[in-house]
Amino acid sequence: MNIIFMGPPGAGKGTQAERIVDEFKVPHISTGDAFRLAMKQGTPLGVEAKKYVDQGLLVPDEITIGIVRERLSQPDCDTGFLLDGFPRTISQAEALDQIASELNKKIDHVINLSVDRNLLLARLTGRRICKSCGATYHILFNPPAQELVCDKCSGELYQRSDDTEEKVGTRLDEYINKTAPLLEYYRNQGILREVNGEQEINTVTAQISSLLRGLA
Ligand code: ADP
Ligand code: AMP
């Protein structure tokens, strides 16, 4: 099954992806994670991406599309994949359709998580991530049992440098201007499904799971 998670920054895509890939046994492909890894390693891709990520701006399409093209060609995507944070522009969506057709694949489901802008700010500024395994927490809405320690692997939790109030504003504007128009693109293809991302984490997971199983 080939799935896309859409929604503004902080809607819960990563949180839900962690759970859904466990259930459906497909690789979780996050372009944001790919850029953060490259930035940490200081590769040429990371150096280039950092110029944009640090400002809360989208990385140029050519760079982002290249990463996804390479990743989807790997054998573990043969039985399906979950794209989280890609596509984010109409050009990326058109490129994805092209890549999929070259690889004899098609997108089966686009799940859109909707959350009000005011709540997104609280979610993003309170987000904490495990340095070791990447698990996502929230200081108020989904805290770990022990402060700043990952429940799953005991790794140390950190705050993303782009999860500050100032950068969140730019990121949400980028979403409105460049990514939100994609909803229409997928609605026209008849594969867009809406889920209210403001509900409790387990409720959102259960609704996505039902949709993907064709039960809702
Ligand atoms: P995205 O990947 O869409 O940017 P995340 O999954 O990282 O979003 O979630 C953003 C923040 O909101 C995290 O701190 C996460 O723990 C929290 N969060 C995610 N889903 C919910 C929810 N349904 N209710 C409350 N908090 C949530
Ligand atoms: P995320 O982890 O999805 O919140 O992404 C973090 C940052 O990575 C974004 O603010 C962008 O700078 C960059 N990024 C991630 N995915 C994309 C994409 N599909 N297109 C352009 N930039 C992206």
pLDDT reading at 128 higher than 80: yes
Q: How many angstroms is it from 32 CA to the middle of ligand 2?
A: 5
Mean pLDDT confidence for 160-189: 97
The pLDDT tens digits of the residues spanning 132-152 come to 999 999 999 999 999 999 999
- Listed residue (68, 82, 57, 120) closest to 6, CA to CA: 82
Q: How many CB atoms lie within 10 A of CB 151?
A: 14
Which contacts (CB < 8 Å, 24+ apart) does range 159-165 have? 159/127, 159/128, 159/129, 160/36, 160/127, 160/129, 161/54, 162/53, 162/54, 162/56, 163/124, 163/125, 163/127, 164/125, 165/121, 165/125
pLDDT reading at 203 higher than 80: yes
The mean pLDDT value of the chain amounts to: 97
> 69 by DSSP, 3-state: which?
helix
Ligand approaching nearest to the C-alpha of 128: 1
The CA-atom distances, in angstroms, between 46 and each of 41, 50, 63, 120 are: 7, 6, 11, 26
Pocket of ligand 1 (CB under 6 A): 7, 9-15, 123, 126-127, 136-138, 141-142, 200-201, 204
Domains present along the chain, CATH in parentheses: 2-26+79-212 (3.40.50.300)
127 - beta bridge partners? 138
pLDDT reading at 74 higher than 90: yes
pLDDT reading at 216 higher than 90: no
Q: How many CB atoms lie within 10 A of CB 123?
A: 24
The yes-or-no answer on residue 127 being catalytic is: yes
The yes-or-no answer on residue 13 being catalytic is: yes
Q: Which two tokens stand for residue 179?
A: 């990514």
DSSP string, 24-55: H---EEEHHHHHHHHHHHT-HHHHHHHHHHTT
The yes-or-no answer on residue 171 being catalytic is: yes
Q: State how far the Cα of 181 lies from the Cα of 154, in Å rounded to an integer.
A: 40
Smallest CA separation from ligand 2 atom 2, residue: 32
pLDDT at 215: 79
Q: State how far the Cα of 202 lies from the Cα of 96, in Å rounded to an integer.
A: 30
pTM: 0.97
Q: State how far the Cα of 167 lies from the Cα of 162, in Å rounded to an integer.
A: 6
- What is the helix (H) or strand (E) element at residue 14, kind and residue range? helix 13-24
